[in-house]
Chain A
Amino acid sequence: LAFAVAMVVAYAGTERLGRPLTDDEKKRFGALLREHDYPGARLVALHFAYKLTRSIGRAQELMGRVNLRLVRFGWDPAEVALVKRLCRLVWSEWTHALGDTEKGRRVEEAFLRDFEATEGPVTASTEQAAVALETATATHARAATQLAKLRAAFEAAGDEVNLLVLKYASENGINPSDMRKMAEASGRDVADFKSAAERRKRAVRKLLAQEGGVDLNDKES
């Protein structure tokens, strides 16, 4: 009895490896991408990037960053399909770029310069560390501003459940998506938090869209 065994080999990424890829690793990663129709998956991810950015140039730039992240952070085919991995990276890169500041760009560019050729391990210089600290401050300010806007929107809409979600998230550290814990903490029904989650996602989508200057609510036809 003969049967074939499909080998699913995860690509660890240079971040986890802590070193550049060897030629053999590059070849295996290339073969893995080819096996999973990387060109097709990349087009779907580019489609998503364009939907988010509404700009050919920005979508292409976003995909450039996604490619770098894929090489750096890797991909496990057993865990997630390539197209989803790429789309997650698109979302992550896009939402981070929205809060991008000049300082943030300097950090990013410094990182990219270190990384682009994968010729050596990425090390944070003192200057990078200092800039990263300033960036963290800007990130904190941006998040606080967005949360204040979200709270104001929930107050204006009389959305008591989502105000509770923000309260328990900030005071108790409960994940907003953890409806069971939210229900336990508040004594309300889990169903209240399910419907609140939909309203909350719409509100967050609206804030992101405002920040990015795009409309994220248009439905796929």
Chain B
Amino acid sequence: MSSRHPAAIWQRLVDETGEEAIEAAVSVSVARAERDLVAAGFDVAAERAVAVAQIDELASGRVVELVPLDEVLARGGDYLDDKERAELHRALTESMAEADAGHLTDVDDVLAEIRAAR
């Protein structure tokens, strides 16, 4: 693309504007970012877990599967076919019934089980 092309000129203007915004962004400490994100409603522990999981997936030599949200939503919010979705809903209904009946499992136990399985 020629440097005189409107798209090229606009991109250069966006890039020069971005450098300032990027400098400001990187000057934020991790602790400050965490505080602000929590205040905004983010689950920072979950966000950290996502990052750690990405590293673990790479370190294990497995494929990292990242899926764009638009695509997921366009498929009804998941990658399930009708049969699989019906099974999921049935499992969820059973799970809610178990919870209503007081058959609950501590989340720490679940996490420990998952970690042990990795």
Interface of B is mostly: helix
- Cα of A208 to Cα of B20 in the assembled complex, Å: 14
- Cα of A147 to Cα of B68 in the assembled complex, Å: 30
- Cα of A64 to Cα of B69 in the assembled complex, Å: 8
> B7, B42, B47, B48: which contacts A140 (Cβ < 8 A)?
B7
Does residue A16 face the partner (Cβ distance < 8 Å to B)? no
Does residue A105 face the partner (Cβ distance < 8 Å to B)? yes
If A50-B37, A169-B4, A173-B2 touch, does A38 touch B55 (CB 8 Å cutoff)?
yes
Does residue B52 face the partner (Cβ distance < 8 Å to A)? yes
* Chain A 125-162 interface residues, beta-carbon cutoff 8 Å to B: 136, 139-140, 142-144, 146-147, 150
- Cα of A133 to Cα of B25 in the assembled complex, Å: 34
Does residue A51 face the partner (Cβ distance < 8 Å to B)? yes
- Cα of A44 to Cα of B44 in the assembled complex, Å: 11
If A30-B57, A34-B59, A56-B41 touch, does A140 touch B6 (CB 8 Å cutoff)?
yes
Does residue B112 face the partner (Cβ distance < 8 Å to A)? no
* Chain A 13-45 interface residues, beta-carbon cutoff 8 Å to B: 23-24, 26-27, 29-31, 33-34, 37-45
> A47, A84, A177: which contacts B12 (Cβ < 8 A)?
A177
Residue on B with the closest CB to A49? B25
Does residue B40 face the partner (Cβ distance < 8 Å to A)? yes
- Cα of A142 to Cα of B4 in the assembled complex, Å: 15
Q: How many contacts A-B (CB < 8 Å)?
A: 182
Interface of A is mostly: helix
Find chain B residues with CB under 8 A from A29 CB: 58
- Cα of A147 to Cα of B32 in the assembled complex, Å: 36
> A34, A105, A176: which contacts B16 (Cβ < 8 A)?
A176
- Cα of A208 to Cα of B15 in the assembled complex, Å: 12
If A204-B14, A216-B21 touch, does A50 touch B40 (CB 8 Å cutoff)?
yes
If A87-B22, A171-B4 touch, does A30 touch B65 (CB 8 Å cutoff)?
no
Contact assessment for A147 and B10 in the assembled complex, using a CB-CB cutoff below 8 Å: yes
Does residue A182 face the partner (Cβ distance < 8 Å to B)? no
Nearest Cβ on chain A to B3's Cβ, whole angstroms: 4
The 7 closest A-B pairs by CB, nearest first: A30-B58, A23-B61, A30-B59, A143-B10, A39-B51, A48-B25, A47-B33
Interface, chain B (partner A; CB < 8 A) = 2-7, 9-14, 16-18, 20-22, 24-30, 32-34, 36-37, 40-42, 44, 47-48, 50-52, 54-71, 74
Interface, chain A (partner B; CB < 8 A) = 23-24, 26-27, 29-31, 33-34, 37-48, 50-51, 56-57, 60-61, 64-65, 67-68, 71, 81, 83-84, 87-88, 90-92, 95, 105, 108-109, 112-113, 116-119, 136, 139-140, 142-144, 146-147, 150, 166, 169-173, 175-177, 197, 200-201, 204-205, 208, 216, 220
